[in-house]
Structures are given as structure tokens and as C-alpha cells.
Amino acid sequence: MSRPEARAPRASGRLLGLDLFRAVAVFGMLVAHVGPAAWTPGEGFGTVHVEWEIFHSRMPAMFAFAAGLSLNLGRAHASGAAQPAVVPTLIRAALLAACGFALTWLGTPVVVILTSFAVWFVLVLPLRRLGAPALLIVAGAWAVLGPAASFLLRRSITLPGNALWDALVAGDYPAMTWMPFVVAGLGVGRLELSSKRIRLRLAAAGAALIGIGYLLSGLLLSGGLTARILDTLPAGADGDAAQQFARRFFAESGVTDTGSWLWLLVPAPHSGSWADVLGCLGVCLLLLAVLLPIGELSRWAENGRPAGQRAVGLLVTLAAPLGTMVLSVYAAHIVAMAVITAATGHSFSGAQSPLMLLGFTLGLMLFSVLWLRRFPRGPLEWLLGRATAVIERMGRRASAGSTRPSRP
């Protein structure tokens, strides 16, 4: 495998910008799993650690959005636009689910997202022939209708321990409120992302959604919404009303509280509320619009540039590999957590120190940089692609054999 092929993402500012987006999502994942707390309880609302909280709730949304972007790497249909191929996508979904179950078996406190990826990939297939405008309309409609439908269903139906119910409605990453990110990623990935006009439109749309999701909901909270929610909380529970509100706000359970429909207006992290979904969509669009041109700065790493420019270019090229092999990095950090726990007894439940976060970040970055200097894809990405191709080929052969006329 040639070294130029391994460095292919650096040849395109667009591709490198997408890798940088995924790299930020990976760092957010590390903050959530092996980093400091986003919030600590205390008197009243407790203490919000803003520098870490900004990653906690947006990381799953970014992963889902990036999953939609990756689906555009499918095969081309007659009109030339990329779309996910059905059979390979179903095979990849099954393999991702198997990988997710294996990582869950390791017993770390991480809620493995790969099984949810498998569900999302299957659910998005009926939309695969839609163009970018239609997909973005579907994503917007889903972002409005999904949280409301989820709230009504969970308020009227309880199915504890039902895997399908959790995957679609009530789990940590339920499709009903997480699919808008996948569909939006699929739609955005079909745009001409090298166009400055498209990037400006993405930035404007992202800023508008952030304003609706976070700023407007913040104004509502300070304007009386918080007091109305406090009135709906059960009396006699542990702690005062403000502490109850804070615990529910930072539960990060993947779904909203069903005590009052007003929770749909609250930008609680990882809650699937209207405010959370719209705000996170805005973050994804705005961040992508910013990172796409930053990816083009990788050319500054070339010799002959001023020292400052070379440093910026080098930083970009070193960060991008972390987003080039997300699946391998994701699995590697969970395996590392399991190994550390088995070897030292260290528990990753709860918050970790900044040094732990730094160690995981630098270790995974070094791993990805060194690997991609020798190989064009991450180990699990290669294995998933190879296994998908083999299974698909075996299926075609079996199908051809079953339709072959028998000899008399």
C-alpha cells in the first residue's frame, strides 16, 4: 500500500475538513467517557463546567451527523449521485451491531453507540434516493415531530427491557430523536461542500438553529419556564426543587423527562428535546462550515512556508487522522478502558482527571497517525469493508446457484 494513498485525505480540503469534524466528535467522546464532569451537584442548581459540558451533549449528535455524511460514500446510481447501496448497508449494519455487542460485553461504563448506528443505517435506507433539499426538509420535520412523538409515546406506554422499544423510542440513542442528525448528515453530504456559498449557507443555518435551540430556550427558562417546571416536580423527593430540576436536566438519558411537556423546550444535554435537537443540529452545521476551510490549511505544512503557517498546517494534518478511522479509534478506547480496569482496578465510572483525558487523546492520535502512514484505512474500517464485500459476494453466488436450472 503506497504512502500517497494513505495520505489521500490531505489532498482535498473538503475531505480533510470532514475528517476534522469527526476528530472533534472523537474528542467529545473522550471527554464524555474518560474526561472531567460536565456538571457536579451542589446547592441549588449545582456547578456547570462549561468547558466540558459543551462536548458532553453534542458528541452523540455529531457522531450521528457524521454517520449520515459517511453514507454518501455508497455506490452511484444512474443519475450519478451517491447513495447507500441496500445490501452492503444491511451487511455493515449487522456487522456494526455485532461489534457493538462485543464492546458492550467488555463491561465498561460506556453506552456503546454502534448498535444504534446499525438501526439508523437500516432506517435511512428508504430515504436513500432523495436529493439534498428533500433530505434536509425531512430532517427538519423529523426534528420537530420526533421529540413530540417520543414524549407522547413514553408518557402513555412503558416497555422496560424491550430492546426494540429502546432502540426506537426510549433508549440512550433512540432513533425517534436521533435520526434527524443522520438524515441531515446524509443531505448535507450531497451538497457541493467545496463551494464557499454552500459553506456560508450552512453557517447561517447553523447559527439560526443555535439561536432557536439554545438562546430562545434560555430566554424562556429565565422568563418563567423554570418556575413552571419546578411547580410540576413531585414534592417530598430528595433535595429541594432546584436540585431535582438540575438532576433531571443533566441526566443525559437520551430522552426528555415526561413529567411535563415543558421539558421539550428545555435545552437539557442529550435529552432529545426540541431545544436539544435543534441546537445540536445547529452546532453540527456551523462547526462543519468552519472546519471545511480550516482543512484546506493543511497545505501550510509544506516546506518553504513561514514557521507560524507550518505549525498550523502540521496541527491540522496531525488532528485529521483521528477522524479518518473513527470506528477503530472508538473501539480502541473502549478496549483500553477495559484493559486498564482489569490490570489496575481503576474505575471509569464517573468523572476522570484531565490527565486521563490527555493520555487517551494523545495515545489515540499517535496510534491513528502512525497507522495511516502505513495503511490507507483503519484496521476495523478495513475489516468491515472486507467482510462486507466477502459476505455480499457469497450472497450473490448463493443466489445465482439457487436460480440455476437443474440438470435432468
Tens of pLDDT along 113-158?
999 999 999 999 999 889 999 999 999 999 999 999 999 999 999 8
Closest by Cα among 145, 173, 165 to 64: 173
Across the range 373-393, mean pLDDT stands at 91
pTM of the predicted structure, to 2 decimals: 0.89
For 316-365, what is each residue's pLDDT tens digit? 888 999 999 999 999 999 999 999 999 999 999 989 999 999 999 999 99
| Separation in Å, CA 277 to CA 125, 281, 319 | 22, 6, 27
Q: Is the pLDDT of residue 4 over 70?
A: no
Mean pLDDT of 195-209: 96
pLDDT above 80 (res 302): no
- Residue 12 pLDDT level (bands cut at 50, 70, 90): very low
Rounded mean pLDDT of 78-88? 62
Average pLDDT over residues 57-72: 88
Q: Does residue 387 carry a pLDDT above 70?
A: yes
CA distance 65 to 42: 34
Handedness of CA 128, 134, 139, 141 (dihedral sign): negative
pLDDT at 54: 87
Query: Given a cut of 60, is residue 33 above it in pLDDT?
Result: yes
pLDDT in the model for residue 73: 65
Share of the chain above pLDDT 90, in %: 61
Distances (CA, A) of 361 to 26, 143, 291, 351, 380: 9, 32, 19, 16, 19
Residue 77 predicted with pLDDT over 70 = no
Q: Which of 172-186, 348-362, 383-397 has the lowest mean pLDDT?
A: 383-397
